[in-house]
Structure 1
């Protein structure tokens, strides 16, 4: 997809500064006590600009979904700050969040569990309007029917129940619900991972069209790098609770610097047609992902990295611009890879 077809990001809209979320681990007998913490998100910086599509990628369990729920204030942060349009909403109460909630919406991963099976489509989509006391011109029912048409569903589906729809149609209902309050930013948490491959493209194209037409900013969370490449202008790569690389789509996919990013990209299937060169080498990482309860010291990727040195065990690398990288292309590695995908060498 051409960059020119995507809207350009404007001023910072949703900002995370050293955002942290630790979940306590309980143990002991007879009284449960805190014996540790799952460091799901451990001090990340992230900025989503107005009107842009920002991708957040990484392996399962790296903290992507937790980050999305923190930014939408569905979870309370353990530390750090969340700014929306310059206002600190990190620990804002219900009253202070009331005017902000409609502008930050979420599309959930599983279209089968995120919709109430006892409610009609009309009730599901109009629910946010009812909760926020919004009466659009022409009434809520007319607005719901308009939204259903916007996401490619028949307005006559207003009185149907979720079980009467396919997975892709259910996710479209979830998109319509997220759009009901005319948000400025939508956090899409793995919106296509639970769908058949044949349906994924339809939902992705829908989200792209809505972004172009409505100017909504998207935080697109996914583990599928091919999908993120198709929809995002900027991308952040996350590993074990921390962001290890961030930059434009072209920088991340064409000139990655962090070894973990190289490993992720090497796993993306690429067909070789007509004998057009040797197949790309797959990087096979050593060992398993460490536990977020006791992450490695220093660089968290060092236990699986082929470039690890003694320095990596004692000093956590900062997220900075590496020599030879473009402006805004940051990586957290003491020994970054050359800025090319042809230099990959697996372990």
Structure 2
């Protein structure tokens, strides 16, 4: 118990409070095996490349981008469900990049995950009570009043009927199953939840219910979120800061209002131009540049992560690309003199 308490305590350094989660240079390459008998590596899928970001306690960071850009892989590395190829992951100041199972034990309960598919992420042979209570059983946690009482409380918290404790997953709708996943994630009182596209498999009306539920839980319990999604409207509603990924790299990070009102990277600008709801909302709010925003059609396909373009990975589809973009990879930095924390990886930002 003492170890858990120490880990949860807010830490500070000479530079100020330590972020709850700090990721720097995170990289993941999946080897491609070939030859005979398939024991020789002939290449690699560069799924995530040099990704860096931080999340403060109680903060929500949205991670957006096209399908296949490395969002889910990043989330799984943060939770250590997947080992990184390179880089560093620090939780509450503690390096957990290559921590073994014993070293991760005090941290495991504090970092939980909500999976994308509410149908395949729940064991169909177990009752809801068993599914939600399993993490407590694995970690040897015996709440006051017993696990069943705690599970029923969690079910009520996420809007499920506690009387359905002994029902099986197939007896619930998609939205209810996702609520079961949320209750399971809350069982160990986490400080950080990685939500991997938690509403993409749900109907639009149910999406709003689940997102609002997560938002209420964040405010009430002070939980930090890494909210992974491709729906920019959902991310704008939920996240305080947003990071945009393209082909395994983060190309822009900024607070919500700055990124949606004044995107600086061409890829972010193209993404936002495809969301009428976001453009309309920005125009009503009188955001800078909203009235000038036009639909941008990107040419060509997303390059293969096996052989990504040299320099800037977006240059093959960018209308601003010049020779420099092919020879130099732009660093993720803020504009000189801006001091607004708006980071962009582009040689010619807006």
Give TM-score, length-normalised by structure 2: 0.90
Whether the 8 Å CA contact 2:69–2:247 is kept in 1: the answer is yes
Matched, 1:39 2:46: yes
Aligned counterpart, 1:344: none
Aligned counterpart, 2:62: 55
Matched, 1:104 2:111: yes
Alpha-carbon deviation of 1:153? 0.4
Whether the 8 Å CA contact 1:245–1:261 is kept in 2: the answer is yes
Partner-residue secondary structure (3-state), 2:272: helix
Alpha-carbon deviation of 1:281? 2.3
Query: Among residues 171, 181, 184, which one is paired with 2:178 in the alignment?
Result: 171
Give TM-score, length-normalised by structure 1: 0.91
Aligned residues, how many? 326
140 and 245 in structure 1: CA distance in 2 versus 1, 3 angstrom threshold: same
Matches within 5 A, 1:113-262: 113-262=120-269
Distance 1:328 1:279 in 2: 24
48 and 257 in structure 1: CA distance in 2 versus 1, 3 angstrom threshold: same
Aligned counterpart, 1:3: none
Matched, 1:83 2:96: no
280 and 145 in structure 1: CA distance in 2 versus 1, 3 angstrom threshold: same
Partner-residue secondary structure (3-state), 2:214: helix
Give deviations 1:173-202, integer Å, cap 9, x for gaps: 000000000000000000000000010000
Alpha-carbon deviation of 1:32? 3.2
Alpha-carbon deviation of 1:322? 1.8
Alpha-carbon deviation of 1:27? 1.3
Aligned counterpart, 2:102: 95
CA RMSD of aligned residues (A): 1.6
Query: Among residues 295, 304, 315, which one is paired with 2:328 in the alignment?
Result: 315
Partner-residue secondary structure (3-state), 2:113: strand
Deviates more, 1:175-184 or 1:281-290: 281-290
Matched, 1:66 2:66: no
Whether the 8 Å CA contact 2:18–2:93 is kept in 1: the answer is no
Aligned counterpart, 1:290: 303
Unaligned runs of 5+ in 2: 1-16, 285-289
Distance 1:86 1:94 in 2: 18
136 and 278 in structure 1: CA distance in 2 versus 1, 3 angstrom threshold: closer
Aligned counterpart, 1:301: 314
Give deviations 1:260-312, integer Å, cap 9, x for gaps: 00000001023869xx9989521100100000010000000000000000000
Unaligned runs of 5+ in 1: 1-9, 338-347
Aligned counterpart, 1:328: 341
Distance 1:252 1:107 in 2: 26
Alpha-carbon deviation of 1:26? 1.1
Distance 1:156 1:252 in 2: 44
Distance 1:278 1:167 in 2: 38
Distance 1:126 1:245 in 2: 39
Alpha-carbon deviation of 1:334? 0.2
Whether the 8 Å CA contact 2:25–2:51 is kept in 1: the answer is yes
Distance 1:78 1:114 in 2: 26
Alpha-carbon deviation of 1:28? 1.4
Distance 1:71 1:289 in 2: 25
Whether the 8 Å CA contact 1:148–1:155 is kept in 2: the answer is yes
Partner-residue secondary structure (3-state), 2:49: strand
Whether the 8 Å CA contact 2:118–2:178 is kept in 1: the answer is yes
